Structure formats: C-alpha cells, structure tokens
C-alpha cells in the first residue's frame, strides 16, 4: 500500500492500495463448473438481447416509443452482463484475481450504472402501460418517440452523475489494513468495509442507492399497476379486459424476475446470517439470470414481437427464393 495524500490540518494520512485481491467463491468444490455455467449464461444473454435489438431495428412497425424502451432494456442488459461476467471469467478461470485500484472503481461504476438503468427502464415501461390502458385516446400524444428519447437521456445523465459521486466517495477512504475483497467483483459494500477511517458517508450512499434506485421504482411500479387494475375493473367486456391484461404480462414477469430476488437478497444479507459463498452465488445469479431471461420473455410473451419475427422470416424467405430464381434464369441464358 502507498500513501497518496494527507490532510495536514487534521494530521490524517490517507492510504490507498495499489491493488485489490478478489477472493471470489473460495472453498467451493467444482467451482469452475459454475464459471462455465456463467459463461453459457453470458452467451445466451448476448445472443438473446442482440436478437431482440435487431428485430426492433429491422421491423418498422416496432419503431414506436414503447419499443424504444424495450430496445434500451435489452441494451442495458447486454452492457450490464458484459461489465460483469467476462471480468469474472478472466479473474477466476485465468487466475487474475489481483485488480488495480482504478480498474476496481471503474468496474464498480459500470456494474451499478447498468443495473440502475435496468431498474429505471422497467419503471418507464410501467409508465407506458399506465398511459396505454388508463388514457388510451391520448396515448400517442403523451408517449411519443421524442419524449421517450428525452426520458432515456435524463436517466443516463442522472445515473452517471449519481454513480460518479457514489464511486468517487470511495477515494476519501483510507485502506490501512487488508486489501482482500470478499466478492467476485468490486462491490461497494466489501470495499468500504475495508476502510480504517470514517465510512459513514459510504454507508449512507449505499442505503440511498438501494432505497432510491431499487425500492422507489418498485413502489412506483406497484402504484402504477394498482391504477391499471382500477382502470381494468371499469372495462365492461371481459374480452377487452383480458386483452389489456395480456399487454402487461411480459412486463410483470420482468419485474418479478428482477426485483424479487434482488430485494430478498438484500434483506437476507441484513437480517440473517448466511455463508459468504452462498450469498455471493445468490447475488451473482440475481445479476446474471434476469438479463438472459428478459429477451426470451419479450419474444415469447409479446404477440407483436412474435408476429414481427414471423413477418421478417417470411420476407427473408421470399427474398431468398427470388434471388435463387434470378440466378437460375441468368445461368440458363
């Protein structure tokens, strides 16, 4: 460790480690099989989210405000998994467990930034469903493509500023003891727990991030669906009610898959004692499985997307047949 800066007025010396050591999933038998499983999860995540983004880009009928948000969710899932899983593979499969201080903070920023974008995008999709069901006649006036781009832009600016401060506050900590992180990535809590000076500001920021960026969107989504339920009760025809409910099923499944494990893991880590490795495995699954499932759910459970895939397939098939026919004619001539 090396002393980086000092405050002469308070006679406090701040010590910053050159590197951190990620201990990861220690003492787990056959743990390399788990890393291989994460690699497969990453491959499916990349293929699935790339596929859904390509479909939205290629099919003109999906160039709407709602599918701009779906595209952004797929992009956030892809970037979030890319910030986490390849680094885990490199760290533990190839024994690169020593990570520089600066690289550690960069990894922390990107992992939390894209997790936050996933959470906020689900809130935006809930807002889209609220307007579509409660104010159907004004939907295309309220939820426009420029408005959606503006909302996503504000989300990015807010998230980048918040997590720049969130990660930047780590620089005020002094690490005069161990530099071993009991984590599989540069997580915020294990880092600030190594500090030997006051880390109350970091604890506060961790609490704020959980309350503001996880609990608050979930509460707003619950309120949104409460309003949607009231609106559905006013619909006279049962068929129309079921049709409106079907438009929400994909989104509700994504909310359940992302928020329930995330909140339960956080509550469990605070209220109960669990083995370190068990907690890390649960957390890693919570971070990696939802981005893999999101495109599958949107593909299989959204009729509009399935119809677009079929149309795109038919179009490609027809074009292939026409091209083959033209080649045959040219060869005969």
Strand order across the beta sheet in which 180-181 lies = 98-100, 19-22, 180-181
Supply the pTM of this predicted model.
Answer: 0.87
Tokens of 231: 């609106």
**For residues 145 and 148, what is the distance between their CA atoms, to the nearest angstrom?**
5
Handedness of CA 46, 35, 289, 40 (dihedral sign): positive
Q: pLDDT tens, 267-278?
A: 776 665 555 677
Q: pLDDT tens, 173-216?
A: 998 888 899 889 999 999 999 998 889 999 999 999 988 888 99
pLDDT category of residue 325 using cuts at 50, 70 and 90? low
> Structural domain boundaries of the chain?
15-301
Percent of the chain with pLDDT over 70: 88
Residue 332 pLDDT more than 50?
yes
Q: What is 15-301's CATH superfamily?
A: Rhodopsin 7-helix transmembrane proteins (1.20.1070.10)
The pLDDT of residue 320 is 65
Distances (CA, A) of 34 to 3, 22, 37, 183: 38, 17, 5, 15
pLDDT category of residue 11 using cuts at 50, 70 and 90? very low
Contact predicate 297/253, CB 8 Å? yes
pLDDT category of residue 232 using cuts at 50, 70 and 90? confident
Residue 123 pLDDT more than 50?
yes
Residue 12 pLDDT more than 60?
no
The pLDDT of residue 13 is 66
The pLDDT of residue 4 is 44
- Looking at per-residue confidence, does 289 or 3 come out higher? 289
């Amino acid at each position: 460790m090396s002393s980086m800066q000092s405050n002469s007025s308070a006679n406090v010396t701040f010590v910053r480690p050159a590197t951190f050591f990620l201990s990861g999933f220690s003492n787990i038998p056959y743990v390399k099989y788990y890393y291989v499983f994460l690699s497969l999860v990453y491959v499916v995540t990349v293929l699935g989210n790339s596929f859904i983004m390509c479909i939205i880009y290629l099919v003109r009928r999906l160039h709407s405000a709602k599918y701009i948000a779906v595209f952004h969710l797929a992009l956030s899932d892809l970037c979030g998994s890319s910030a986490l899983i390849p680094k885990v593979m490199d760290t533990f499969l190839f024994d690169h467990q020593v990570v520089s201080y600066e690289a550690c903070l960069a990894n922390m920023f990107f992992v939390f930034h894209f997790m936050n974008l996933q959470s906020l995008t689900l809130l935006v999709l809930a807002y889209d469903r609220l307007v579509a069901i409660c104010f159907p006649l004004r939907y295309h006036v309220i939820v426009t493509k420029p408005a959606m781009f503006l909302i996503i832009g504000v989300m990015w600016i807010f998230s980048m500023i918040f997590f720049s401060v969130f990660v930047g506050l780590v620089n005020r900590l002094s690490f005069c003891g161990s530099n071993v992180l009991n984590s599989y990535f540069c997580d915020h809590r294990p880092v600030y727990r190594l500090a030997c000076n006051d880390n109350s500001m970091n604890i506060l920021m961790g609490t704020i991030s959980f309350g503001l960026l996880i609990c608050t969107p979930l509460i707003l989504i619950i309120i949104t669906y409460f309003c949607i339920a009231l609106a559905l009760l006013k619909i006279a025809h049962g068929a129309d009610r079921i049709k409106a409910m079907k438009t929400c099923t994909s989104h509700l499944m994504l909310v359940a898959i992302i928020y329930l494990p995330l909140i339960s893991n956080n509550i469990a880590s605070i209220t109960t004692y669990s083995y370190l490795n068990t907690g890390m495995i649960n957390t890693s699954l919570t971070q990696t499985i939802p981005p893999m499932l999101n495109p599958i759910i949107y593909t299989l459970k959204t009729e509009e997307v399935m119809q677009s895939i079929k149309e795109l397939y038919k179009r490609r098939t027809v074009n292939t047949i026409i091209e083959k026919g033209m080649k045959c004619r040219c060869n005969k001539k």
